[in-house]
Structure 1
Amino acid sequence: MLTRQRKELLLRILKEEGQIVAKTLSESLGLSEDTIRRDLRELAKEGLLERVHGGALPASPAQGNFAIREKLSTDAKPAIARAAAAMIRPGQVVFIDGGTTAVQLARALPRDLRATVITHSPSVAVELVEHPDVDVIIIGGRLFKHSIVAMGAAAVEAVGQFRADLFFMGVCSLHPEAGITTGDFDEAAMKRALSAHAQRTVVLASPEKLGTASPFQIAPLETVDHIVVNREVDEALLAPYRAMGIEVTLA
C-alpha cells in the first residue's frame, strides 16, 4: 500500500470511528506499528488529526483565528449563549472567557441584570458597556491576538484575587478521553486558573468541538460541572459526559 493510500485510509477510519488506536490498527491492517505512528505524525503536522498517546483523535476545526471561528456554528452559538445567560442569577460574580461564543454570551445577558463580570477578553468587556448594572472587571496582560484575550503570568496572578460563582469556559476541543483542550499552552494555563477560582465551571461547546482534541490540555473532565451544547447534537456524543455525572443543557 502506497503512503498516500495509507494516509487516506487512516483519515477515513478516523472519520468513521472517531479515534485511531495504533496497535490495534497495525494488527488489523497487517502493517507495522511504527509505520502507522509515522503516518499519524505526518498527518498531525498537516493539521489533519491530533496525535495522542497510542493513536490519534480528530483535530478541532476551532483552532483557526477569531475571524475564522466567528463563521463556525453561526446558528448554534447564539442559542448556546442564551442558555448560558439564563444560568446567571442576580448578584453573582461570573468569569466569562474569551472567544466567539463568549462574546455571544455577553450579548445575550439581559440589560437589567445586576451582576459582576470578570473577563480577560476586551471583546466581552465592550459588549457589556450598555449594561448599566453589570460591574465589569477587566484582567490585563499580554494580548493573545489569536483569541483576543489577555494572557501571561500577570493575568494568571490577577485571577487569584477573585472567587467567582460561575466560569463560562470556551474551548477548542472536548473529548471523553482527552478532556478539555485548546491550541495554546499559555491559554490553557489561563483557563485552568479561572476554573480553579470558580465554584462551578460551565463549558460552552459548539458542535464542531465535540469529540475532537487540541494540543494542550486545560484540565480533565472531572473539573467540569456543566456543558451547554446545541440541541441537535447526536445523543451518542453526549452519553459519555452524562455518564460522568456532568450536567448537559441542550440549547
Structure 2
Amino acid sequence: MKKKERQQKVIDEVSINRKVSSSYLSEKLNVSEDTIRRDIKELDNKGLITKVHGGAISNIQKLYHYNEDVIYNRESKIRIAQKAISLLEDNMVIIISGGTTNLMLAKLLPKNLKLTVFTYSLPLAMQLTEHPLVETIFIGGKIYKNSMVTIGIDVIQYLSKIRADVCFMGVSGLDVESGITDEGYEVSLIKKAMIDASDKIVFLTTSNKLNVRHSYDVCSLKQIDTIVTDLDITDPSLNPYISAGVSLI
C-alpha cells in the first residue's frame, strides 16, 4: 500500500470513529505501529487530524474552510453532489445546511450558475466565496463549535423572514418510520425552520445514514420532496423508501 493511500485510510478511520489508537490502525492497515505513528505525526502537522497519546482524534468539525482531504466517503459525496446540481437553475434562491456532503455540493457548483444562497454553515459560506455568480448570505448567530454552524433564536427568526425555492439539507439519520432525525436539539430546530422557509425540500444522504435514528426529530418522510443518495435507485435497500412514496434520485 502506497503512503498516500495509507494516510487517506488513516484519515477515513479517524473520521468514522472520531478517535482511534495506533494499535488499531496498525492491525487494520497491516503495517507497524512505528509507521502509523509517523503517519499520524505527518497528518497532524498538516492539520488533517489531531495527534493524541496512543493514537489520533478527528478535527474535521473544527476546520474553518473546505479541505477535500478530510472528507470521508468522498467519492459517494461527489456522486450525490452531481445529482443534486441537476435540480438547480439560474436565479434560484436556496438554503444549504451544514455537513461535508453539502460542502461537496458547494465546491462542485458550476462557476456559471447564478444563485442566491443562505447558509448557517461557516465552512460552506467560505467555500461559496469561490463562486463568482453566487450571492452568499451567512446567517449569523452563536457558533456551535463542534460543527461550525450558527445556532439560537436569531437564526430561526432570520429564516422565518425568507422564502427559498429549494433547501438542500444534510442528514444525520434517515429512517422510514422516524423520518429525518438529528443528534443535536438546537440544530434540529433550525433545520425545521429551514424546511418552513422553503418551497422544496431535498435531503442529501450517503447510504450509511439510511435506517439510522437519532434523538431529535426534524421532519417526517411526507415533508420531503426528494432524497438524493449515492446509490442507484434500483438498489434493494431503497425499496422501503420508494414504497413509502419518497422521490429518489
> What TM-score does the superposition give when structure 1 sets the normalisation length?
0.70
Query: What is the CA-CA distance between 1:75 and the residue it aligns to?
Result: 1.5
Paired residues of 1:66 and 1:100 also in contact (CA < 8 A): no
**Once superposed, which parts of structure 1, at least 4 consecutive aligned residues long, lie more than 6 Å away?**
none
| 1:185-196 to 2 correspondences below 5 Å | 185-196=185-196
Cα deviation for residue 119 of structure 1 reads 0.5
1:143 aligned counterpart, secondary structure: strand
Kept in 1: contact 2:81–2:105 (CA 8 A): yes
8 Å Cα contact 1:93/1:166 also seen in 2: yes
* Mapped contact 1:211–1:237 kept (Cα < 8 A): no
2:188 aligned counterpart, secondary structure: helix
The 1:205/1:73 distance shift into structure 2, 3 A limit, reads same
Q: Deviations over 1:16-37 (max 9, x none)?
A: xxxxxxxxxxxxxxxxxxxxxx
CA distances 1:208-248 after superposition (whole Å, capped 9, x unpaired):
10011111111111111100001258723211222232210
User: Within 2, Cα distance between the matches of 1:150 and 1:198?
Assistant: 19
Deviation of 1:188 after TM superposition, in Å, equals 0.3
Cα distance per residue 1:133-175 (max 9 Å; x no partner) = 1111110111112221111111011001110000000011000
Q: CA offsets per residue over residues 80-130 of structure 1, 9 Å max, x none?
A: 011112211001100011111111010010011111011111111111112
Match of 1:90 in 2: 90
Do 1:65 and 1:146's aligned partners in 2 also have CA atoms closer than 8 Å? no
* Counterpart contact for 2:176–2:244, Cα < 8 Å: no
Partner of 1:245: 245
Distance, in Å, in 1 between the alignment partners of 2:113 and 2:138 is 18
* Corresponding pairs, count: 185
Partner Cα separation in structure 2 for residue 150 and residue 208 of structure 1? 26
- Describe the SS at the equivalent of 2:161: coil
1:204 aligned residue: 204
For structure 1, the 5+ residue unaligned runs are 1-63
Report the CA distance shift for 1:121/1:76 in structure 2 as closer, same or farther (over 3 A): same
Residue of structure 1 equivalent to 2:61 = 66
Equivalent residue of 1:248, what SS?
A: coil
Equivalent position amino acid for 1:248 in 2: L
Q: Is the CA contact 1:99–1:148 (under 8 Å) kept in the aligned structure 2?
A: no
Residue identity in the other structure for 2:87:
M
Question: Residues of 2 paired with 1:71 and 1:139: CA distance?
Answer: 24
Q: Secondary structure at the match of 1:146?
A: coil
Q: Per the alignment, do residues 181 and 238 of structure 1 end up closer, same or farther by CA in structure 2, a change over 3 Å counting?
A: same
The answer on whether the counterparts of 2:102 and 2:168 sit within 8 Å (CA) in structure 1 is yes
Alignment-mate amino acid for residue 109 of structure 2: L
Structure 2 CA distance for aligned equivalents of residues 102 and 67 of structure 1: 16
**Partner of 1:213: helix, strand, or coil?**
coil
Q: Which runs of 5+ in 2 are unaligned?
A: 1-58, 64-69
User: Where does residue 114 of structure 1 map in the other structure?
Assistant: 114
Give identity over the alignment, percent.
32
Q: Where does residue 123 of structure 2 map in the other structure?
A: 123
TM-score of the superposition, structure 2-length normalised?
0.70
CA contact (8 A) 2:233 2:248 kept: no
* Equivalent-residue separation in structure 2 for 1:177 and 1:244 (angstroms): 9
Match of 1:49 in 2: none
